[in-house]
């Protein structure tokens, strides 16, 4: 039994290849069925996102498994082997788990710490589960991967801080206001950057938008998009008192919001806190404004410094995340090794030998008059009995374990003889994840 992953990602393949080799949702179920149709492949999950395509399989033969995957990709997309073989990467065994856990933790993403990948893996696994393409190993592996991803997100700050200018604006606003729900934002200017920042603010709960622009029509157009109101450019200061957040990005050569304006606004607002973001160069908002009581004003350089610090923080968080991934891989491979046949048999032999020795000692104490040779005979006899009884089950298990679903026999073998796992490990992640998957 081998766990293999084959894939191509933004790190190995150009977009020309990535856009060809995809498995959209509609064909996913069908493709999974085709994949497990191959004789060497027992379980399969296909992860297909815009930056990566990865096929995870459990195969009973390493080389055949890899070969089947390449064949499968070529068949699906009408490609020749040499067209894609250069771009594909393969991992097997422990490195597959390591890779999957890293992907789920968003450590392998283009933007480290991005939040989507965990959901995408969940969907991919869900599809494979629905299509009956997963079984004991992948059910456990993927649930463990989701759990690892979640653990990384809660225990590190990997995804917490903004790494783009427009998100940094939202993040800063959230340091002043506890929640942006129900807040009003004023947009001065109607450019692309303004629109992007406003979109982020809206998705964080801001529900009222006031737009102003030198060309009133553009203000109206933007206001309509956000379901807001447009106000003429020469009277926007009068409306500023209603806004909690002001974003400015005009092409004006000098400041359009002066200190005097804001003092007037703050008087009208009864000093309620107000938050300014100036993304224009040259600046639209007089920097002096920041000195007014309860006014928090930032320009593009401030946002950039926030982004730079956050990027450094993410790198540091990623180091901690790698340690978490290593730890979880350790847990998982400990469980996986219990599915190997050799240790199970060794464990049974050890167990039987222990019983034999104990019983022999117990009974020899009752027979103190035995000679050396008689003891040897008894010893040999008990050994023979144990070995003969164990012979059939061991041979059969070895034989069955080579079948397609072999590890299930190993599993039953352990269960029937009540063989304890070599290493203590907690079962909880699997169960937790199972419960969670049912909920969602």
Partner 1 sequence: MEKLTVVVFWLALVCSVASSLAYIGNFASRAERRVHVYTALGTALASFLLLLAVIFIRAGMLGISQTAGPFTVRVIFAAFIIGVFLLIETLYAGKNPKIKALGMFVMPISVVLQYMAWHSYKLTEPLTEQLRNYWVGIHVTFAVLGYSAMTVALAMAIIYLLQERQLKNMRKKKPGKIFRKLPSLEMSDEFCHKAIAFSFTFLTLVIATGIIRAEMLPEWSQWYMDPKILMAIATWVVYGAYLFVRSTLGWQGKRSIMFAILGFIVAVFTYLIGNSSIITEIIPSMHRYGGGLG
Shortest separation between residue 159's beta carbon and partner 1, angstroms: 13
| Residue 331 near partner 1 by CB under 8 A | no
Find the binder of partner 1 among 317, 325, 339, 344 (CB under 8 A): 317
DSSP letter assigned to residue 287: G
Q: Decide: 128 and 56 in contact? Cβ < 8 Å.
A: no
- Side-chain half-sphere exposure of 393, counting CA atoms within 13 A: 18
Binding of partner 1 by 272 (CB under 8 A): yes
Which one, 28 or 262, has the nearer CB to partner 1?
A: 262
Look at residue 247 and give its three-state secondary structure: strand
Binding partner 1 (rule: CB under 8 A), the pick from 31, 161, 213, 401 is 161
Which of the following is catalytic: 50, 74, 76, 383?
Answer: 50
CB 32 within 8 A of CB 133: yes
User: Are 209 and 229 contacting, i.e. CB atoms less than 8 angstroms apart?
Assistant: yes
Cis peptide before 282 (omega within 30 of 0): yes
Q: In whole angstroms, what is the distance from residue 108 CA to residue 332 CA?
A: 20
Candidate list 27, 176, 334, 352; residue touching partner 1; CB under 8 A: 176
Q: How far is CA 44 from CA 19, 33, 130, in A?
A: 21, 9, 12
Residue choice 296, 335, 407, 413 for contact with partner 1 (CB under 8 A)? 296
Selected from 80, 254, 270, 388, the binder of partner 1 by CB under 8 A is 270
Q: At which residue do the structure tokens 């969670």 appear?
A: 436
**Among residues 19, 25, 30, 160, which is the contact residue for partner 1, using CB under 8 A?**
160
Q: Is 305 in the site for partner 1 (CB under 8 A)?
A: yes
Within 85-234, residue ranges assigned H as helices are 94-104, 116-130, 136-155, 165-176, 192-203, 216-225
Binding of residue 156 to partner 1 (CB under 8 A): yes
x/- contact string, 136-155, with partner 1 (CB under 8 A)?
Answer: ------------------xx
Number of residues that bind partner 1 (CB under 8 A): 31
Does 74 qualify as catalytic in the annotation? no
Task: Give the C-alpha separation, 421 to 174, whole Å.
Answer: 49
The separation between CA 50 and the C-alpha centre of its own chain, rounded to angstroms, equals 15
The smaller minimum CB distance to partner 1, of residues 39 and 205, is found at 205
Residue 174, interface with partner 1 (CB under 8 A)? Answer: yes
Q: Which residues bind partner 1 (CB under 8 A)?
A: 154-157, 160-161, 172, 174-178, 270-273, 290, 293-294, 296, 298, 301-302, 305-306, 309, 313, 316-317, 320, 324
């Amino acid at each position: 039994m081998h766990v293999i992953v084959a894939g191509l990602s933004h790190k190995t393949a150009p977009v020309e290849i990535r856009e060809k080799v995809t498995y959209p949702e509609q064909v996913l179920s069908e493709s999974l069925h085709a994949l497990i149709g191959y004789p060497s492949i027992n379980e399969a999950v296909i992860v297909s996102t815009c930056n990566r395509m990865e096929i995870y399989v459990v195969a009973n033969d390493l080389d055949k498994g890899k070969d089947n995957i390449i064949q499968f990709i070529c068949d699906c997309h009408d490609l020749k082997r040499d067209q894609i073989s250069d771009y594909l990467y393969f991992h097997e065994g422990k490195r597959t788990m390591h890779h999957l856990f890293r992907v789920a933790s968003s450590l392998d993403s283009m933007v480290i710490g991005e939040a989507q990948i965990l959901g995408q893996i969940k969907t991919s696994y869900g599809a494979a589960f629905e299509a009956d393409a997963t079984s004991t190993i992948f059910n456990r592996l993927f649930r463990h991967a989701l759990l690892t991803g979640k653990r990384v997100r809660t225990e590190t700050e990997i995804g917490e801080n903004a790494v783009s200018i427009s998100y940094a604006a939202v993040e800063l606003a959230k340091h002043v206001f506890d929640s942006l729900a129900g807040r009003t934002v004023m947009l001065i200017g109607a450019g692309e950057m303004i629109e992007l920042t406003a979109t982020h603010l809206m998705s964080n709960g801001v529900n009222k938008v006031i737009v102003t622009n030198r060309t009133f029509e553009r203000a109206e157009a933007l206001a309509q998009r956000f379901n807001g109101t447009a106000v003429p450019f020469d009277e926007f200061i009068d409306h500023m008192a209603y806004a909690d957040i002001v974003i400015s990005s005009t092409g004006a050569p000098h400041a359009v919001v002066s200190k005097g304006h804001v003092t007037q606004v703050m008087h009208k607002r009864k000093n309620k806190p107000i938050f300014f973001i100036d993304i224009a160069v040259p600046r639209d908002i007089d920097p002096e404004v920041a000195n007014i009581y309860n006014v928090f004003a930032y320009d593009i350089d401030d946002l950039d410094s926030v982004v730079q610090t956050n990027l450094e923080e993410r790198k540091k968080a990623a180091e901690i995340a790698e340690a978490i991934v290593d730890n979880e891989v350790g847990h998982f491979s400990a469980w996986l090794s219990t599915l190997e046949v050799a240790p199970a048999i060794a464990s049974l032999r050890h167990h039987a030998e222990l019983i034999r020795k104990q019983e022999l000692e117990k009974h020899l104490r009752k027979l103190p008059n035995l000679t050396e040779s008689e003891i040897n005979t008894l010893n040999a006899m008990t050994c023979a009995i144990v070995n003969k009884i164990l012979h059939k089950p061991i041979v059969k298990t070895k034989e069955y374990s080579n079948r397609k679903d072999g590890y299930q026999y190993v599993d039953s073998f352990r269960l029937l003889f009540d063989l304890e796992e070599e290493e203590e490990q907690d079962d909880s992640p699997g169960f937790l994840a199972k419960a969670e998957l049912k909920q969602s």
